[in-house]
Amino acid sequence: MADRNGAHSVKSAYKVLSAAATTSSQREVCLELPPIWKARVSFKAKTVTWRIFKGRLPTCDNLLRRQVPLSASDVLCTACEEENESVEHFFFVCKRSCELWDAILLWIGKYTALHHKASEHFATFSNIGD
């Protein structure tokens, strides 16, 4: 798409791409993501959380999906060595991570259900300090 003068520019391309990015399906995806960058935690914690939501952590299931060769013993969770490693298992289902979440809840004096989905888990803990 050209600008008013009929010239193609980076700005005119940006406008076209921005308009395409505001389709209803992409708006719905953006609404599903919690406000990670507004959380009062370190930048490193925000980055890891974002990578969890985007499926960008190098867990065994992601490595296999990207066709990285792994042996059968390499796909097991490094914490419990009982289940295949995935984001959901490692952070939310693994007995070791559940022990950690229980200790955190005890430490802060809060009690809540622990979710197995990243977005629900984040939503629970993002409001816990209010």
Distance CA 119, CA 130 (A): 18
> Would the pTM of this model clear 0.75, i.e. be above it?
no
Please report the pLDDT score of residue 115 as a whole number.
81
Predicted confidence pLDDT, tens digits, the chain (130 residues): 566 677 777 777 667 666 665 554 444 444 455 677 777 788 998 888 888 888 889 999 889 988 999 887 789 998 999 999 999 999 989 999 999 989 988 998 888 878 888 878 777 776 665 5
Token duo for residue 54: 């985007």
Going from N- to C-terminal start, the domains of the chain cover 1-32, 35-126
Confidence (pLDDT) at 95: 94
The tokens for 125 are 């803990």
Q: If we measure between CA atoms, which residue out of 89, 69, 70, 68 comes closest to residue 80?
A: 89
As to burial, measured by CB atoms within 10 angstroms (0-12 exposed, 13-18 middle, 19+ buried), residue 14 is exposed
Count Cβ atoms within 10 A of the Cβ of residue 83 and give its class: 0-12 exposed, 13-18 middle, 19 or more buried: middle
Environment class of 115 (CB within 10 Å of its CB; exposed 0-12, middle 13-18, buried 19+): middle
